[in-house]
Amino acid sequence: MGEVRLLTGMAVLHYDNLCIDPNQRRVYVNGRVIKMTTMEFNILYYLASHPGWTFTREQLYQYAMPDDFAAGPESVTSRICKIRKKLNINAIQTVYGYGYRFEKYN
């Protein structure tokens, strides 16, 4: 079985009505818990912990996916889509031809 990256001991992130708690591995929007898969959480936390930085799908895949997950970097696109739908906020921007970035919106 592959290694799953644990994000414990890292900073809780707050952006307006969004809270990302890596210690409890929970995401809150307006105080409501949003259920996320491990990969969705890892992608969101990585992007949100580097606001304004742009990452390629390959970089996000390498950071967020367990070692035994063989779908490839193109799977990041579907994860980003699911995260956007679950959060219903415009924080994750597509940088066409390159990748994705988290924009502060507070």
pLDDT (tens digit per residue) in 45-78: 999 999 999 999 999 988 887 665 667 777 899 9
What whole-number distance in Å separates Cα of residue 2 and Cα of residue 78? 21
Looking at residue 85, what DSSP letter applies? H
User: 3-state class of 66 per DSSP?
Assistant: coil
What domains can be seen in the chain, in order of their start residue? 37-102 (1.10.10.10)
Task: For 69-95, write each residue's pLDDT tens digit.
Answer: 667 777 899 999 999 999 998 899 999
Beta strands at 54-56 and 32-34: parallel, antiparallel or unpaired: unpaired
Binning pLDDT at 50, 70 and 90, where does residue 33 land? very high
What whole-number distance in Å separates Cα of residue 34 and Cα of residue 98? 28
Beta strands at 92-95 and 13-15: parallel, antiparallel or unpaired: unpaired
How much is the pTM?
0.84
